[in-house]
Each structure stands twice: as C-alpha cells, then as structure tokens.
A = this chain, B = another copy of it.
Amino acid sequence: MRTMPVPDRRARILEAAERAFAESGFEGASLRQIVLAAGVNLATVYYYFGSKKGLMEAVLKRRFGPLRQEQLDRLRQSEQAARGRPLSVETILEAMLLPPLRLAVCASAQRQVVMRLIGRIATEPNRQTQQLLRGQHEEVRTAFQDALRRSLPKVPAADLRWRIEFVWGALAFVLCNRRRIEKEAADTRDPVDTDRVLSEMTVFFAAGLRAPTLTEGCR
C-alpha cells in the first residue's frame, strides 16, 4: 500500500480484462465493463494498450508465455534425465497437463479465470485472437508430438496426430467447464484437486495413446 503508491493501473486493467474476456469472450466483453471493474478511466486502456485488441494480446501474452515455457521446460528436463531413452507416455502427459492444471488450482478464483480463458480460446474460431495464440501453441504442439512419437513408435504418425488432438481437446474442455464439473462432483463428495484431475487424465490418455490401432500394418 505505502510501497506501491501508484495503484498500478496497467496491472489492474490486465486482471479485470482477463476475467471479462474469460467470462464473455472477446466480443462479449466491453472495455467499459473492464475499466469499471479495474477502477480506472476508459482512456487509460488506450494509453497502455492502444486498442481492445492490444489489450487482449497483452492478456494472452502475460499468461501463455510462461505457461508454454513451463510445459516445454518440463519436457526438456525429463528428456535430459532420460538421457536419450524415450520417455514414458505418463511423463510426457504430466509435462503437458500439469502446468495448465496447476493454474486452475481449486481455491483461486483468479486462476480459474485464466483457465476458462484458455479453454475458450481453444474453440474460438477465425478470430485475430486465434492467430495470436496459434503461433505459440504450434511450438508446444510440435514438441509434444515429437516426444510422443518417440515413445510410441508403433502408433502410426497419422493416428498419433489425431490422438494428440483428443488430449488437447479434452484438456481445453475440462479447463473451461471446471466450475460445472466441480459443482457436480460436490454432490458426490468427490474432491477435485489438481493431483486428482491430473491422475484421471494421465491414466485415461495414456491408455488411449497406447491403444493398438485397428489399421496397424495395413497402411
């Protein structure tokens, strides 16, 4: 409070915008609603970010840069530790899934917002928003696809690409619908924490990724 006499308007805008975009999407959220929540003047947005699109870009960069980096770092670290041997599917999945799932840790409302934003963008078509993220996600996608290919040499490349799509899709959906899932889980006193979700996903996806293909040898 005293050490931070400037209320850091830029950061407050970013947080409010993140929440608004996650809840209402890019078009659905309005700058007026954002600046109201952030307690700043409308013109401040334009001073710091230039435009609504610029604000969205800043929101995404702030979150997805570190997230992507953490996924890649985990993968690289596991690969170094394995010293050339292929990683287990479970290890690769953990590197993929844990960073986004940890962001969505239960109690923190702010973090849940981020995850909804991720899930939402994953299905938002044909927008400037998409291209913005696609480039970054491409690198992650490729890295994990290569790792999985080494770990699953028997799965044809074309099938593996499909399977990886299923993993990303299920992840995006879970992140996006976390609130509903938690509510439903509460009825059955079933705890929803990061480890639990990670474990569920790892078991499920590892089995799916390893499944023998119907067409094995025929293509």
Q: Which of A3-11, A48-56, A200-208 contacts B (4 or more CB under 8 A)?
A: A200-208
Residues of chain B with a CB closer than 8 A to A200's CB? 159, 162-163
Q: When A169-B169, A208-B205 are in contact, do A126 and B23 touch as well, CB less than 8 Å?
A: yes
Copies in the complex: 2
Residues of B within 8 A of A166 (CB): 170, 173-174, 201, 204-205
Question: A206 touching B197 by the CB < 8 A rule?
Answer: no
Query: How near does chain B come to A40, taking the closest CB pair, in angstroms?
Result: 23
Any chain B CB within 8 A of the CB of A22? yes
Complex CA distance for A23 and B126, rounded to whole angstroms: 7
Distance between Cα atoms of A86 and B165 in the complex (Å): 30
Q: Which of B158, B168, B174, B208 makes the CB contact (< 8 A) with A204?
A: B208
Per-position 1/0 for A140-182, Cβ under 8 A of B: 0000000000000000011101110111111111101101010
Within the complex, which residue of B124, B158, B172, B185 is in contact with A185, where a contact is CB–CB below 8 Å? B158
A25 contact from B124, B172, B215, Cβ within 8 A: B124
CA distance A206 to B163 in the complex (A): 12
For residue A214, CB closer than 8 A to chain B, the reply is yes
A136 interface hit (Cβ, 8 Å)? no
Measured between beta carbons, the chain B residues less than 8 angstroms from A203 are: 208, 211-214
